[in-house]
Amino acid sequence: MQPFAYYLFQEAEDMDMKEILAKCDHTLLKQTARWSEIKKLCDEGIENGCASVCIPPSYVRDAADYIRDKETKLKICTVIGFPNGYNTTKIKVVETEDAILNGADEIDMVINLGWVKDCRYDDIMDEIIAVKEACHGRILKVIVETCLLSQEEKIQMCNVVTKSGADYIKTSTGFSTDGATPQDIALFKANVGNNVKIKAAGGISSLEDADLMLKLGASRLGTSRIVPLFKDCLLYTSDAADEARSV
């Protein structure tokens, strides 16, 4: 029987791994995240050419200081109103301003899902606009938590995000009942405006998953698993080369 890394390698052979990694928001948002883990995340993000690291707000200043003198295009991304989204708009704006002051390049905010259920789409729009203004030109991604929405609600949120001026619509926090699905990425692609990009997040557990999400229209991937899978592929390749040389 072939080792697990062999099958990862076979998947990776048919994909542009640099393209996949370049669209990854390498993520660590667990409640117990330590600075040593965040620093390792930054190192991995730089080493593998990821788009950003997505980290808790309390580590933004440390991470921004850590990568400042390194030759990298890696961005610092953090989360607002996370993970439940029911903070007041004022608090989300203050969180955003604080994150930008600390060095965040990108903001991933969670919408108020109760407002979706109450059809308060104008209030959601106003909130996204307020947070976008607080970003001062930085990228804003809007997390709509698709697993908790009906099809109609997802379409409504595509319309709201398109009109709000936000840069991305994002599927999930990764802290609810499900993550990104191919069906939701396809729905987003069919319903957002040309000014809005798509971030698939949550449950992306294989290189095949990542490749599929990109092919369906995602421009970013929120995941903690792709970099470790890629490292497994490199390790398998190295071991295979050593074995070949020894024959």
Catalytic positions are 108, 170, 199
- Indicate the helix (H) or strand (E) that contains 140: strand 139-143
| Rounded-to-integer distance, Cα 29 and Cα 125, Å | 26
Within 10 A of 92 (CB to CB), how many other CB atoms are there? Answer: 24
Sequence-distant (≥ 6) Cβ neighbours of residue 168 within 8 angstroms: 139, 140, 141, 142, 196, 197, 198, 199, 219, 220
Three-state DSSP at 23 gives coil
DSSP 8-state class, residue 111: P
First to last CA, the chain: 20
Q: Find the length of the chain.
A: 247
| Rounded-to-integer distance, Cα 229 and Cα 12, Å | 10
DSSP 8-state class, residue 219: S
| Rounded-to-integer distance, Cα 234 and Cα 239, Å | 9
